[in-house]
Amino acid sequence: MARELLFSRAENEALRQEMERDPTVILMGEDVAGGAGRADQGFIDAWGGPMGATKGLIQRFGPERVIDTPICEMGFIGAAVGAAVTGLRPVAELMFVNFVGVCLDPIMNEGAFLRYMLGGQVSVPLVIKTAIGATGRAPERGGGSAAQHSGSMYSIFAHVPGLKCVAPSDPYTAKGLLIAAIRDDDPVVYCSHRQLAGTKGEVPEAPYTVPIGKARTLRPGRDVTLVGIARMTGVCLEAADRLAGKGVEAEVVDLLSLSPLDEETLVESVRRTGHLVVVDEDTPRCSVARDVAAVIADRAVDHLDGPVKTVTAPHAPVPYSGVLEAAYVPTPEAVVAAALATLRD
Amino acid sequence: MATELRLPLLGDIMTEGTLRRWLQADGARVEAGQPLYELETDKVSFTVEAPAAGVLRRLVTEGEVVQVGGLVGRLEEAAEAGPAPSPEPVSLPEPPVPPGPASVEEPVGPAPPVGPARLRATPAARRLARELGIDLAALGSERRLREADVRAWQAASERAAPEATAYAGRRRAIGERMVRSLQTSAQVTLNSEVRVDAVLDMIEGLNREWRERGVVLTLTRAVVKAVAVALGDHRHLNVRLEGERIVPREGVHVGVAMDQEAGLIVPVLHEVDRMSLEEVARELRELTRRAEAGRLTQADLEGATFTVSSLESTVVDAFTPIVDPPQAAVLGLGRVREVAAFEGSGVVRRRVATLSLTFDHRVTDGAPAARFLGRLADLLERPYLLLEGRR
Amino acid sequence: MPDAAPEATAGPDLLGDAELLRRLYRQMVLIRRFEERVHALRQSGALQGSAHLYVGQESVAVGVCARLRWNDYVASTHRGHGHAIAKGVDVARMMAELFGRETGTNHGKGGSMHIADAAVGMLGATGVVGAGVPMALGAALSARTRGTDQVAVAFFGDGAMGQGLVYECLNMSRIWKLPLVFVCENNGYAESTPVEYALGTKHLAGRAEAFGVPAATVDGQDVFAVYGEMGRAVARARGGGGPSFLECQTYRYYGHFIGDDPRRYRTAEEEAYYRARDCIERFERAVVGRGALAEAELRAIDEEVGRTIEAAVRFAEESRPPAPSALTTDVYAR
């Protein structure tokens, strides 16, 4: 029987099952448990991470494997790299992806490049688990979390050789990709959209992996390919429903893996549909969306029957005001308009 | 001193040509060797280059039909291309004039290529048009052409009622040559039904053997080879009637009629007598490709004594082909049919095709022509004979 | 735990300055009423934006900023409303910013965590822990290079003491003798993580001294103590004596952000201990008890502050949201 689980609980289950399976898996980050050091006062596991995804793990695995850190991203993520090359499989939580500004060095210059620089002597089996995305709060009620806590920015990781980067779109892919990331011998940045944390979906109880480097086709269609990333996959599905009402059969491809990129699935789909719309909440310059567009321009150009469209955030930081935030994030309406533009322009 | 631009003679039977497109603006300064205009004859398109440097003066408009040797334009020296500059300095306080002969409307110097605005079409539309052999320019559209437009055009052109079009260009050239042929020669057609079971079996077998080599043999290609062999034995048909003389031809040069969008075209396979069956198949395929790509040269269209015209892939059983003077004869090939035939007292299934030989009675007579046809039938019924012979 | 709640430590010189006393009181109350109003708006659902409340720590911002001139610089944190109000930012425009309105201090683009007003030296707040400290260092460097006597203040929390860049800044401020005051607001918690877990030693002043930066530890719930120590630090900075470090021991009454329940990591007894030492109540006991200001005077200030806050909410509510075209303005200077 299918079992429904919250996205954040699916992540929790992935972490728990992997930590049970493999004693070298550890979790570290700011407030991954919370209230650290106060077990004697009856306080344990106050937070379980900002989305509650790591709640309960410290009771099961203890403070040696569920480690609250001071606020020092450069230090503890650097330490996670060091632990990874010496026999552990750390999952380091970067609370919001914007904080990569504090710790890009250990992620890129050490975590991603080390294996190559050392001529393959070491592997870096590290997971950086981070939250992405705008808040989606009601436009008329003030605002969201603004520029430093709402970015997507995964294109930074996709750009770095040696790093892998995945972005689940529902509870099923959350659990499967997180387990795959933990079992992977390379550093993987796992991007969890904050608005997906509270969504529900079917999740098998037994451990399983969703392969890194593979996109999945969620809905077949022959007229236009809609490619979604993380929460934008749901936006694509909604757009596909609306397009169906206009007689347009949209195919929805859930990218899941931003690096490596599943070029075959993308090329194969566009060869059939002849039209591509890539939907990405990240900003457009040097983005994953434009990268997908470039792959298609390179490998499927003879099958393109209209311009390639990308629907992305504007080239601007995320605004606070709810009105502006709502205008910032791609909507199903914008995706429908882009699909019709490539079909009819 | 101006250089006159006259319509060049591109082939032995060319009398006129259409100036399809100027490639340089009127008044443009061109260098020797730069492309000047596109010339279209009944058989080929040809780009004419500037024979010398100079400023172009066009004398005919695009689309005009010009006789061979007719004046189409001039290449003038710069000084004669416009009003001469005033020899005296102007003393009145007038606004300064630009020096030299440049006119405001017509810039001197290399002009941007003229031509229709760049066609807008999606890559998918271009690919499909390529596959279907459709010229996208024919679709003409204000907006970007899409794959669906090409499909629709293809579907429409397949079922379209024929519209009146101008009797001109290649169509007219073909027509007038056919009329001239019938009016000026004495044509006789002989038909013969030949058994093709053996040759078809051989073709099937050879194609299996040759698959790796990329060679494809068809009945038409085998017939071309058979014609070459038979012409070697029947020299009276390997001739051209040129004016007052019947001129025998060295080697065997066979024209092969091909059906194209713009009309019939007959490229020539030269020196077929020197080719093996495999080479004939290979070379005919290459000739077909060049014809489809519009890359035939004048040499590809000249020198045949004999033409093969095949309707093998149609529903036509037999027809009366027309000789293309100064050639001596033309062979028509109809479709392969299955017939019931007596073999002893029994009835068997047999595959046959009709060969129709039209010859010009001015160069030979019925009996030798019939013997030629008989030799062809023999070669097709004993096709291993096609495998021997000269290389 | 609770020893008797002490009075604020006002000396006779301060008690004689009625105008200063009124100003300190009004600002502390203004911050508290503002924050409580924001809390109420969030509870009612009228506001949804992220916000981290300053309630409990008012005496730190007010004591520090009371020593600053209008054009001195302040770099703030995610918990920055108090710093902004104490530095003189208009509460109506702050409220409008929380409402995401065009009339807000940041025209609706920054929200609670990034309130700034360059006109009063409020450089703005950053939500990245510790990131404001080098900003203030840069402002101090700029002031000295331009030859002004401006002073810069870096507010940061105990959580930032985990970040390496704070120590880089201590070092740079000392070697360049910059007019910079490090104000560490130790409220006991980095998000939910207690300071005794996250910091290896309680003696934060000692860390600054190790870099050669003069340091002091004060009772941050006593506005006079903060004001007094800040006076020495600012005098040192303006006089060319270089940086100072001030640890203000304080407490936040609410959770890390609105929605965080602090009882998940601290006891009711602990909260009661600090609330018994509430900075505003201590101030009032000291000032009224010694006859420096009449109680009626304070109540009049309370009323005026209440009206100011309500006017701010009305202003925010009546202001328009930004036009969608604002989405891509101010990404670049031009």
pLDDT band per the 50, 70, 90 thresholds, residue B91:
very low
Of B366, B381, B389, B388, which is closest to residue B223 (Cα–Cα)?
Answer: B381
pLDDT band per the 50, 70, 90 thresholds, residue B137:
confident
**Residues 6 or more apart whose Cβ sits within 8 Å of residue C294:** C288
Tens-digit pLDDT string for chain C (334 aa) = 445 567 777 777 888 899 999 999 999 999 999 999 999 999 888 898 889 999 999 999 999 999 999 999 999 999 999 999 999 999 999 999 999 999 999 999 999 999 999 999 999 889 999 999 999 999 999 999 999 999 999 999 999 999 999 999 999 999 999 999 999 999 999 999 999 999 998 899 999 999 999 999 999 999 999 999 999 999 999 999 999 999 999 999 999 998 899 999 999 999 999 999 999 999 999 999 999 999 999 999 999 999 999 999 999 999 999 999 999 999 999 7
Report the pLDDT value the prediction gives residue B112, as an integer from 0 to 100.
43
Q: Which residues of A83-113 are buried (b: 16+ CB within 10 A; e: fewer)?
A: bbbeebbbbbbbbbbbbbebbbebbbebbbb
Q: Is B365 a catalytic residue?
A: yes
pLDDT band per the 50, 70, 90 thresholds, residue B119:
confident
B123–A306: do the CB atoms touch at under 8 Å?
no
Interface of C with A in 259-318 (CB under 8 A): 264-267
The single-letter code of the amino acid at A245 is G
B124–A345: do the CB atoms touch at under 8 Å?
no
Report the pLDDT value the prediction gives residue B90, as an integer from 0 to 100.
39
Written as six digits, the tokens of A267 are: 């090329």
Q: Do chains C and A touch (3 or more CB pairs under 8 A)?
A: yes
Helix axes C279-289, C223-238, angle to 10 degrees: 100
Report the pLDDT value the prediction gives residue B161, as an integer from 0 to 100.
60
Nearest chain C residue to A325 by CA: give it.
C327
Ramachandran sector of residue C68 (left: φ over 0; alpha: ψ -120 to 50; beta: rest)? beta
Task: Report whether C9 contacts C222 (CB < 8 A).
Answer: yes
Assess whether the previous peptide bond of A260 is cis (omega < 30° from 0).
yes
What is the pairing mode between strands A89-96 and A127-132?
A: parallel
pLDDT in tens, B258-316: 887 777 889 999 999 889 999 999 999 889 888 887 788 888 888 899 999 999 888 99
Task: Report whether C28 contacts C59 (CB < 8 A).
Answer: yes
- Domain B3-81, CATH class in plain words: mainly beta
Q: Is the ipTM of this complex over 0.90?
A: no
Task: Report whether B251 contacts B270 (CB < 8 A).
Answer: yes
Helix axes A332-344, A231-244, angle to 10 degrees: 60
Alpha-carbon distance of B53 to B110, in angstroms, equals 12
Tallying the residues shown for chain A, one arrives at 345
Look at A3-17, B178-192, C157-171 and tell me which has the smallest mean pLDDT.
Answer: B178-192
Alpha-carbon distance of C11 to B311, in angstroms, equals 119
Tell me whether residue C269 is exposed, middle or buried, using C-beta atoms within 10 angstroms of its C-beta: 0 to 12, 13 to 18, 19 or more.
exposed
Most confident of A201-205, B2-6, B236-240, B282-286: A201-205
Domains of chain A, first to last: 4-202 (3.40.50.970), 216-344 (3.40.50.920)
Assess whether the previous peptide bond of B326 is cis (omega < 30° from 0).
yes
| B182 strand-pairing partners | none
Chains meeting A at 3+ CB pairs closer than 8 A? B, C
**Residues 6 or more apart whose Cβ sits within 8 Å of residue B334:** B311, B312, B316, B317, B318, B319, B353, B354, B355, B356
DSSP assignment of B295-311 equals ---GGGGS--SEEEEE-
Q: Where are the domains of chain C?
A: 24-312
CB atoms within 10 A of CB A39: 13
Report the pLDDT value the prediction gives residue A107, as an integer from 0 to 100.
97
C48–A144: do the CB atoms touch at under 8 Å?
yes
CATH assignment of C24-312, among 1.10.10.60, 3.40.50.970, 3.40.50.720, 3.30.479.30: 3.40.50.970
- Domain B187-388, CATH class in plain words: alpha beta
Catalytic residue, chosen from A13, A18, A30, A73, is A73
Of C106, C131, C192, the CB nearest to A35: C192
**Residues 6 or more apart whose Cβ sits within 8 Å of residue A218:** A233, A237, A252, A253, A254
Interface of C with A in 125-164 (CB under 8 A): 126-131, 159-164
Report the pLDDT value the prediction gives residue B299, as an integer from 0 to 100.
85
Q: Where are the domains of chain B?
A: 3-81, 94-184, 187-388
DSSP assignment of A112-135 equals ITHHHHTTTS-----EEEEEES--
Written as six digits, the tokens of B268 are: 């020539």
| B55 strand-pairing partners | B29, B76
Alpha-carbon distance of B216 to B285, in angstroms, equals 8
Written as six digits, the tokens of B153 are: 């055009």
Say yes or no: B122 contacts chain A, CB-CB below 8 A: yes
Written as six digits, the tokens of A157 are: 């990781």
> Which residue bears the tokens 């340089």?
B24
Alpha-carbon distance of C141 to A165, in angstroms, equals 40
Residues of A with Cβ-Cβ distance to B122 under 8 angstroms: 274, 304-306
For residue B213, pLDDT beyond 90: no
For residue B87, pLDDT beyond 70: no
Alpha-carbon distance of A83 to C250, in angstroms, equals 36
Of A112, A94, A100, A133, which is closest to residue A283 (Cα–Cα)?
Answer: A133
In chain B, the percentage of residues whose pLDDT exceeds 90 is: 33
pLDDT band per the 50, 70, 90 thresholds, residue A197:
very high
Q: Which residues of C48-77 are buried (b: 16+ CB within 10 A; e: fewer)?
A: bbbbbbbbbbbbbbbbbbbbbeeebbbbbb
